[in-house]
Amino acid sequence: MSPDAKHPASSPLSPTELLAGKNLLLLGTTGFLAKVMLSMLLERFALGKIYCLVRSQRSKSARERFVDEVLGSEMMEPLRRAFGPSFDAYIDEKVVVVDGDASKPNLGASEEVLAELFREVDLILNSAGLVTFNPPLDDALEINSIGALEIARFAAQTRGKRVVHISTCYVAGNRSGHIR
């Protein structure tokens, strides 16, 4: 079957239609790219839920980090202005914060949360990764390589079985241009 037969020109790609009612899992939530994506997704698409994986820290829970680092960021200002006083209610309706770690098996999520994620997630958007330019090799491998493997393993168990992987660090070595 030719590529054109699979995707005829009469049916253009429509992210609005493809994402309508879908539940997404966003990884790398506290990073710049994911904050922008989250804001735009919430503002522009009629999604179901967006599950946001956030790693808790010694001093902050995943929810506290989400509120401080994501909702408190300037990337949320356009959404905050658009929704005005209903912003918090809209976030509570659409976003579920999940405590976890993308480099761990099953994303380090609890058993009760895992069942919901496997049952509900249609698409994973992964922008999680270590973006420092000279990290210790062990750290870089664990987060950027092993993390990607764990995410793929996790995705295979979800109902959607789909991952969009976004990487902004060391994506093409020293070469420039489009590289397959």
Per-residue pLDDT of the chain (180 residues; tens, 9 = 90+): 455 555 556 678 888 999 999 999 999 999 999 999 999 999 999 999 999 999 999 999 999 999 999 999 999 999 999 999 999 999 999 999 999 999 899 999 999 999 999 999 999 999 987 777 777 888 777 777 888 899 999 999 999 999 998 876 555 566 676 666
pTM, full prediction: 0.85
Q: Annotate 163-174 with b (16+ C-beta within 10 A) or e (fewer).
A: beebbeeeeeee
Contact in structure between 70 and 42 (CB atoms under 8 Å): no
pLDDT tens column, 37-60: 999 999 999 999 999 999 999 999
